[in-house]
Structure 1
Amino acid sequence: MKTTLSTGASDVRSSAVSSQTTANSAIGLLDEGIKAVNTQRATFGAASNRLEHAVDNMTNIQNNAEASRSRIEDTDYAETTSELAKAQIIAQAGTAMLAQANQSSQSVLSLLR
């Protein structure tokens, strides 16, 4: 953001305040300069507030991501391991039952021959 602020300061410097009219003119120029400075301060203040909000938002996003990662990493490994073992035992038992059922049918066929 590039800002150029021209307040007519050179006009104020060259103004003589020897009469009420020129003094009032100089005061008017100073008032315009003050208004311009205040406008720029408001513009920069608004930009600063937006940047601070963006920083706060990014900080919250980072904190939430770290908390999520921590929850994922802190999974109860004992529970997960026992669930895996249970699933493997059930699969092995199913395989054994199929093998026995297959063996029984082959035994019946061999008796019939």
Structure 2
Amino acid sequence: VQSASDTNVGEDRAALQAEVTALIAEIDRIANNTEFNTQKLLNGDFSGANKVIHIGANSGQSVNINIANMQAANLGSGGVAGVSISTQSGANTAITTIDNAIKAVSDERASLGALQNRLEHTINNLGTSSENLTAAESRIRDVDMAKEMMEFTKMSILTQAATAMLAQANQQPQSVLQLLG
């Protein structure tokens, strides 16, 4: 916008062009170096590739990801890589080109934001399913402690009674021997 003003002289426009060229180089650097798990995300590798993220326990539960090429040459109509603001008319053309590039980036961000929301919703659903499965397993496997303690106490009393009866049974032959002896 600044370069579109007729108050700029050639030196001003040259300095502004140098700044624009540096910004375009930075756009390309970001697009070429942004990666996840060694896979480039913004350089076009994910464009039309339909990368698949598996999101469930079954074979058909997946989400396709498609990320547009975000390099300067591909942004907007015609790309911003060749933008020249060294003249007033070039600067006017650059404004439209950059507006289109901003729209393309905004559209891609909206698309990725929607995908992120979808994945977060899936994560929450999987967490709930996992919790429900753990609770169901717990109900099946866990014992009723009160019932088991009652059964243990009953068996303990029966064991003690049997031991006492054996002790008395062992004492009776000795009592007979003492009487005879």
TM-score range, shorter chain: 0.5 to 0.7
Shift of residue 17, structure 1, vs aligned partner: 3.5
Aligned residue number for residue 70 of structure 1: 138
Point out the structure with the larger strand share.
2
Given the two structures, how large is their TM-score scaled by the length of structure 2? Answer: 0.39
Q: How far apart are the structure 1 equivalents of 2:125 and 2:85?
A: 53
Deviations 1:33-89 (A, max 9, x none): 00000000000000111011101100000001101111222242737x98xxxxxxx
Which structure has the bigger radius of gyration?
Answer: 1
Contact 1:17/1:23 (CA < 8 Å) preserved in 2?
yes
Matched residue, 2:67: 3
Higher helix share: 1
Identical pairs, percent = 38
TM-score normalised to the size of structure 1? 0.60
Count of aligned pairs: 78
Give the whole-Å Cα distance in 2 for the aligned partners of 1:4 and 1:56. Answer: 27
SS at match of 1:25: helix
For 2:128 and 2:144, the matched residues in 1 are separated by 26
Which 5+ residue runs of structure 2 have no aligned equivalent? Answer: 1-64, 152-181
- Structure 1: where are the runs of 5+ without partners? 83-113
Do residues 18 (structure 1) and 82 (structure 2) align?
A: no
In 2: Cα distance, 1:34 partner to 1:16 partner: 17
Give, in whole Å, the separation in 1 of the partners of 2:66 and 2:134: 37
Distance 1:2 1:46 in 2: 12
Q: Please report how far the alpha carbon of residue 10 of structure 1 lies from its aligned counterpart in structure 2 after TM superposition.
A: 1.6
